[in-house]
């Protein structure tokens, strides 16, 4: 019983073992009962436990603090904080801060900030690095839990920045054309552009992400300390300060690593690099779990080093913010927007623009409404109708369309039982698909395609067109030809097996 263990503390020379046993009970399956029993047993007098904070054995002090943390009795806050301030053994100090998480420590906020400032100014050595980093992290977490994190405000539009705009690898020409006469060149994953006022680029929907290039550090070594050192030495802190309103540090960051490194090694690499960045920047840059100002995007090169790019969350991108609700297997808004960009300047078989203004548009498998929303954003429509067999999808589509400030009619129905009134000018849709290797599932999809291409012409005017995104190209080829003319086919991703077809209803002979 935990009460018996507590009674042993006063006369027990083996305080450490007793405290460890108490801690285990307070964290075990019956922790609530153990906590209640001990608090009741002490009757408000925790002297034997508090005295352990002065024990000669450093590990006894550490475990006493952790036991007090599990209890969370507010009267123990003062002795915990006093013990932290007096503690000289580095590995014990974090235990006091861990214990504080279960207390109302609001009154200590100023002292916590002062403690963090002292730690940030402290010289780092191989001997103290690990525990110093842990203590800093805990202090920042305690402070952040009591204060709303204030993100820095971007103010760099007057400066020329070098940017990478990620887009579809097979059709970078679309973005190149939309960028106009600025300085630009194609890259593997998108387009590099050099200009001022990057915020104006959010008028375009043909790129997915905007990433900043740090001019003096385009690649870093595949070693955490060296990579951190290269970034700080290249002026990362100064680059951020130049592009943001003058406000107090720190800049909160996260690291995203993309490459061949095994997952079990990746976490350790990222944590280590983040800790070295904090250390070398003197806490101007701090690793965070939320409220980021920036993401450091590391992309592995063929040689094994890493390209480094900056994603600034301080420069908000609201283009696809309407996507408040998602469903399983829902498409990314950028993909839908890019499909519209590919079709926008195409013509139908008669030479008219593929998309018509004030068209009446149908999506037979509308999901969360993304295709219809992006179609309306590309060229104005008169009416939009979305059909989906899943009620969850229809509810999500209605909400997303409202957030997009667009209008559409959504019906929770199987397309093959849906009855329309007047025919539509266009069909735009992302066709259902399966990743299952099951022959039964494949046959289900094949049957759906056959039925779709038999029925779709009924919903279109005589010169009606269809934009169709598919992961089953062969089924489109097999079943569409009788009723539709293929105007244009785009390979979006060979890896994902995704294709975009622009088609028009065949005229009756």
39-80: pLDDT as tens digits: 999 898 999 899 999 988 999 999 999 999 999 999 999 999
Instruction: Report the run of H or E that residue 183 belongs to, with start and end.
Output: strand 183-186
* 352 has pLDDT over 80: yes
Q: Tell me how many helices (H) and strands (E) the chain has.
A: 18, 16
Query: Nearest-5° angle of CA 342, CA 348, CA 353?
Result: 65
Q: If pLDDT is split at 50, 70 and 90, which confidence band does 381 have?
A: very high
What average pLDDT does the chain have? Answer: 92
Looking at residue 328, its pLDDT comes to 83
| pLDDT at position 297 | 97
* Region 254-279 average pLDDT: 94
Q: How far is the C-alpha of 337 from the C-alpha of 362, rounded, in Å?
A: 16
Distance CA 258, CA 299 (A): 5
Phi/psi of residue 96, nearest 5 degrees? -65, -40
3-state secondary structure of 352: coil
Residues 409, 414, 415, 416, Cα dihedral to 10°: -150
Quick check: bond before 250 cis, omega within 30?
yes
Question: With contact defined as beta carbons under 8 Å apart, do 293 and 240 qualify?
Answer: yes
Closest Cα to residue 26, out of 47, 6, 55, 51?
6
CB 51 within 8 A of CB 67: no
Task: Quote helix, strand, coil % in the chain, to nearest 5.
Answer: 45, 20, 35
More confident residue, 480 or 136: 480
pLDDT value of residue 509: 63
| Strand 161-166 to 359-363 pairing | unpaired
**Residue 285: beta bridge partners?**
251
Considering the chain, what percentage of its residues have pLDDT values greater than 70? 99
Q: Which phi-psi region, left, alpha or beta, contains residue 268 (left: φ > 0; alpha: ψ -120 to 50)?
A: alpha
Higher pLDDT pick, 117 / 233: 233
Contact yes or no for 458/419 (Cβ under 8 A): no
What does 28-85 look like in DSSP terms, one character per residue?
A: STTHHHHHHHHHHHHTT--HHHHHGGG-SSHHHHHHHHHHHHHH--GGGHHHHHHHHH
Q: What is the mean pLDDT of residues 410-423?
A: 92
Token pair of 249, please?
Answer: 């540090």
Residue range 90-140, pLDDT digits in tens: 899 999 999 999 999 999 989 998 988 888 888 878 777 888 888 888 888
- 3-state SS, residue 225: helix
Location of structure tokens 């075990």: 28
Q: What is the predicted pLDDT for the residue at 344?
A: 94
Q: How far apart are CA 140 and CA 112, in angstroms?
A: 9
Picking from 138-142, 271-275, 292-296, 450-454, which range would have the lowest pLDDT averaged per residue?
Answer: 138-142
- pLDDT for 119: 84
Band of pLDDT at residue 411, cut at 50, 70 and 90: very high
SS3 205: coil
Q: How confident is the model at residue 28 (pLDDT cuts 50, 70, 90)?
A: confident
DSSP character at residue 360: E
275-283 average pLDDT score: 91
Is the Cα dihedral 277, 279, 281, 286 positive or negative? positive
Integer Cα distance of 37 and 28 in angstroms: 14
Give the C-alpha separation, 78 to 84, whole Å. Answer: 10
Query: What's 470-494 look like in SS3?
Result: ECCHHHHHHHHCCCEEEEEEEEEEC
- Antiparallel, parallel or unpaired: β 183-186 and 190-195: antiparallel
Residue 290 is classified by DSSP as: S
Confidence of residue 409 (pLDDT cuts 50, 70, 90): very high
Phi and psi dihedrals of 393, rounded to 5? -65, -45
Residue entry with tokens 């060979």: 494
Q: What separation, in Å, do the N-terminal and C-terminal C-alpha atoms of the chain show?
A: 91
Spell out a b/e string for 1-35, using b for 16 or more CB atoms within 10 Å of the CB, else e: ebeebbebbeeeeebbebbbbbbebbeeeeeeebb
Q: pLDDT tens digit string along 158-203? A: 999 999 999 999 999 999 999 998 899 999 889 999 999 999 999 9
């Amino acid at each position: 019983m935990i009460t018996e263990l507590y009674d042993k503390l006063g006369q027990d020379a083996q305080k450490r073992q007793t405290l460890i046993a108490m801690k285990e009970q307070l964290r075990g399956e019956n922790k609530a009962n153990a906590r209640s029993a001990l608090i009741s047993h002490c009757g408000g007098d925790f002297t034997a436990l508090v005295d352990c904070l002065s024990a000669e054995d450093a590990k006894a002090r550490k475990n006493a603090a952790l036991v007090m943390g599990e209890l969370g009795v507010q009267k123990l806050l003062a002795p915990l904080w006093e013990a932290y301030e007096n503690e000289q053994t580095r590995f014990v100090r974090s235990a006091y801060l861990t214990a504080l998480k279960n207390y109302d420590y609001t009154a200590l906020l100023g002292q916590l900030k002062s403690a963090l400032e002292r730690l940030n100014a402290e010289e780092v050595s191989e001997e103290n690095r690990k525990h110093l980093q842990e203590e800093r992290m805990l202090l920042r977490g305690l402070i952040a839990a009591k204060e709303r994190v204030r993100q820095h405000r971007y103010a760099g539009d007057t400066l020329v920045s070098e940017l990478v705009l990620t887009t579809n690898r097979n059709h970078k020409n679309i973005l190149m054309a939309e960028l106009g006469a600025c300085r630009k060149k194609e890259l593997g994953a998108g387009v590099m552009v050099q200009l001022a006022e990057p915020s104006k680029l959010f008028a375009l929907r043909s790129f997915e992400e905007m990433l900043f290039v740090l001019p003096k550090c385009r690649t870093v070594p595949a070693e955490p300390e060296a990579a951190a050192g290269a970034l700080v030495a290249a002026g990362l802190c100064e680059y951020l300060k130049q592009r943001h309103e003058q406000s107090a540090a720190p800049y909160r960051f996260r690291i995203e690593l993309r490459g061949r490194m095994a997952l079990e090694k990746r976490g350790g690499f990222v944590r280590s690099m983040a800790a070295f960045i904090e250390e070398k920047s003197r806490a101007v840059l701090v690793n965070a779990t939320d409220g980021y100002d920036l993401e450091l995007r590391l992309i592995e090169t063929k040689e094994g080093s890493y390209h480094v790019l900056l994603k600034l969350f301080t420069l908000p991108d609201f283009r696809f913010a309407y996507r408040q609700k998602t469903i399983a297997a829902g498409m990314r808004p950028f993909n839908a927007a890019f499909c519209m960009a590919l079709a926008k300047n195409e013509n139908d078989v008669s030479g008219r623009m593929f998309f018509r203004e004030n068209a009446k548009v149908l999506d037979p498998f509308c999901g969360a409404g993304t295709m219809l929303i992006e179609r309306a954003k590309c060229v104005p429509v008169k009416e939009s109708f979305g059909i989906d067999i899943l009620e969850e999808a229809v509810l999500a589509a209605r909400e997303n369309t409202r957030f997009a400030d667009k209008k559409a009619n959504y019906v929770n129905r199987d397309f093959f039982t849906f009855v329309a009134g007047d025919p539509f000018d266009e069909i735009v849709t992302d066709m259902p698909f399966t990743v299952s290797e099951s022959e039964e599932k494949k046959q289900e999809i094949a049957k759906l395609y056959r039925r779709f291409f038999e029925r779709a012409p009924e919903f279109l005017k005589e010169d009606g067109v269809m934009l169709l995104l598919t992961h089953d190209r062969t089924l489109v080829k097999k079943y569409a030809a009788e009723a539709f003319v293929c105007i244009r086919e785009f390979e979006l991703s060979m890896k994902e097996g995704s294709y975009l077809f622009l088609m028009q209803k065949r005229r009756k002979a």
